């Protein structure tokens, strides 16, 4: 009877056991690797999300800084000292001396008083002179509105408000005067014409008086603000 050899003396059996062991190890490695890969992927995604979040934070901070800068700039527009601001205000409303407005009124109204009919050989040139005078008054009214656009940085806020209000009353006064001068140009000669009926004359006179009253009121409002600013200490 043949004697059995111990297992460690059987090469084939040993090789089989080694092969089985290798297969088991390979399967374990394969099963563990995807998990590690998933962990790495998750970590990468997490880091990417954190980077994006940090970027958004930086963007938000930048936008906040811009808004703060704009707000600060807006609040600092009125940065001039009181003395300089008042000097600027008085200079701006005195660009044309007050008496010059009276001269403009008188000169303009003189050009409105003439015979516009064919019986007057100078009618054509007088009409042109009257229209040019009215255009000049309109330009002064437009310039008055521009006073409100002076830089805020030249004034305190209170003085800039005064300048804005002044520009409004000056503009309204000049437009009211232009309206009165225009009505005078259109109505005065006819109202004094003997051939005009009494009822028509009265209508024309009433129209001129209404325009004159409005002009006088607007002028007084302008003068009141002008004197208030000039006399301000």
pLDDT at 75: 45
Q: Cα–Cα distances in Å, from 140 out to 10, 95, 115?
A: 123, 12, 27
Q: Going residue by residue through the chain (233 aa), what tens digit of pLDDT does each one get?
A: 445 555 455 555 556 666 666 665 556 656 554 444 444 444 444 454 444 444 444 444 444 444 444 433 344 487 778 999 999 999 999 999 999 999 999 999 999 999 888 788 999 999 999 999 999 999 999 999 999 999 999 999 999 999 999 999 999 999 999 999 999 999 999 999 999 999 999 999 999 999 999 999 999 999 999 999 999 98
d(C-alpha 165, C-alpha 163), whole Å: 5
Q: Cα–Cα distances in Å, from 154 out to 17, 87, 101, 106, 128?
A: 98, 10, 26, 35, 41
pLDDT at 214: 98
Inter-residue contact 148 to 175 (CB < 8 Å):
no
């Amino acid at each position: 009877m043949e004697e059995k050899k111990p297992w460690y003396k059987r090469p084939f059996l040993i090789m089989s056991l080694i092969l089985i062991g290798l297969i088991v190890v390979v399967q374990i490695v394969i099963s563990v690797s995807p998990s590690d890969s998933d962990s790495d992927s998750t970590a990468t995604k997490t880091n990417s999300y954190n980077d994006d979040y940090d970027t958004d934070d930086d963007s938000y901070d930048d936008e906040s800084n811009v808004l703060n800068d704009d707000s600060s700039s807006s609040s600092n527009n009125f940065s001039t000292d009181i003395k300089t601001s008042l000097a600027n205000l008085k200079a701006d409303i005195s660009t044309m001396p007050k008496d010059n407005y009276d001269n403009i009124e008188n000169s303009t109204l003189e050009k409105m008083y003439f015979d516009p009919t064919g019986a007057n050989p100078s009618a054509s040139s007088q009409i042109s002179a009257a229209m040019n005078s009215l255009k000049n008054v309109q330009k002064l009214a437009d310039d008055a509105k521009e006073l409100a656009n002076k830089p805020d940085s030249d004034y305190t806020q209170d003085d800039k408000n005064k300048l804005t209000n002044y520009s409004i009353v000056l503009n309204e006064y000049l437009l009211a005067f232009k309206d009165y001068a225009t009505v005078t140009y259109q109505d005065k000669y006819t109202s004094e014409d003997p051939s005009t009926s009494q009822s028509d004359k009265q209508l024309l006179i009433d129209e001129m008086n209404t325009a004159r009253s409005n002009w006088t009121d607007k002028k007084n409002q302008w003068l009141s603000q002008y004197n208030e600013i000039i006399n301000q200490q």
